[in-house]
Structure 1
Amino acid sequence: MSSPQTGPGSEQQRAEAHEAEQQAQAPEQKKQWAMTSAQEPTAMSGWLAFAGSLILLVGIFNIIDGLTALLRTDYYIVGAGQLLVFNFVAWGVIWLVLGVLQVATGVGCLYEKEWARTTGVVLAALVAIGHLAFLAAFPLWSLLVIALSVLVIYGLVVPAERARA
């Protein structure tokens, strides 16, 4: 003979009793669950991915510019005395620092960090202004980097697809 606690239906009965007890104890919790909406998984904004990749690329370009300005000053069209401001050593350090910061910011943008958007806009503006001053040394390259910086700024300030004001 089996007792009610060890019988074949006892596990199912205990589970049903436990469920009924939970339902009776927490009606408020059920209401909260019913009123909240499920959050949709958010995908990365296409513009943010574009801007993050582009700022990463421009950062690498600026690192190359910095190394070139430090190591091969004869590569540029004008001499150090004909630059608008500073000399090639100063520009080399400026481009290296800005390039490293841009690479870090580009990685932050690809990981969707909010600080990276703001930092990216500021760095892209600084790089565009810097290349405007560096225009005499390497005009075509400077114009290209200025155009890429403007694209970076646009990509970082465009709101996400489902953003609310």
Structure 2
Amino acid sequence: MAHDSGPAAVRHGQRTSGWLTFAGTLAVVIGAFNIIDGLVALFNDDYYLVGDNRIMVFDFTAWGWFWLFLGIIQVAVGAGIVAGKMWARATGVFFAVLAAIGHLAFLQAFPLWSVLTIAMCVLLIYALTAPPAGSRG
């Protein structure tokens, strides 16, 4: 009598990782936050703390487009991570670093939101780099 050898992922030789599922979900959440940041920067400049509409080099309109495009890409990458795509893991690390640096520059405009997003980006980078090699979400 044959016994079931375990979950389908084990039978196909790939290990599943809860960290990658968490990372994919977190990438979608960070992407959604960045989309919200972008839409607010585009449609309501008075929402942010900086009064002269200048943060580092760009104005709120430029930052709005940056956050909007970055958020859309991060949502797509998050879906790829959950689907177990290796390209999405590498791309997710790159865009998490880019978002953390961007929020560091955006810190003066909205400090609490930026600090929260930077912390989530660091957690996302860890979740994407910690799982065993070859594991899927």
TM-score between the two structures when normalised by the length of structure 1 = 0.71
- Percent identity between matched residues is 56
Q: Deviations over 1:8-47 (max 9, x none)?
A: xxxxxxxxxxxxxxxxxxxxxxxxxxxxxx9455453111
* Greater than 3 Å deviation, 4+ residue runs: 38-43
Provide closer, same or farther for how the CA distance between residues 49 and 77 of structure 1 changes in structure 2, counting only shifts above 3 A. Answer: same
1:107 aligned to 2:79?
yes
Structure 2 residue runs without a partner (length 5+): 1-9
Is the contact made by 2:35 and 2:71 (CA closer than 8 Å) also made in structure 1?
Answer: yes
Which position in structure 2 is the counterpart of 1:71?
Answer: 43
- RMSD over aligned CA atoms reads 1.9
- Give, in whole Å, the separation in 1 of the partners of 2:96 and 2:86: 16
- For these two proteins, the number of residue pairs brought into alignment is 126
3-state SS, counterpart of residue 49 of structure 1: helix
The question of whether the paired residues in 2 share the 8 Å contact of 1:45 and 1:161 is answered with no
Higher Cα Rg: structure 1 or 2? 1
Decide whether the 8 Å contact of 1:69 with 1:91 is kept in 2: yes
Cα 1:126/1:113, change in 2 over 3 Å? same
Alignment check: 8 A CA contact 2:45 2:53 kept: no
Counterpart position of 1:95: 67
- Select the structure with the greater relative contact order (CA < 8 A; seq sep ≥ 6): 2
Runs of 5+ unmatched residues, structure 1? 1-37
Superimposed CA distance per residue, residues 25-80 of structure 1 (whole angstroms, 9 cap, x where no aligned partner): xxxxxxxxxxxxx9455453111011110010000000000000000010001124
- Partner in structure 2 of residue 135 of structure 1: 107
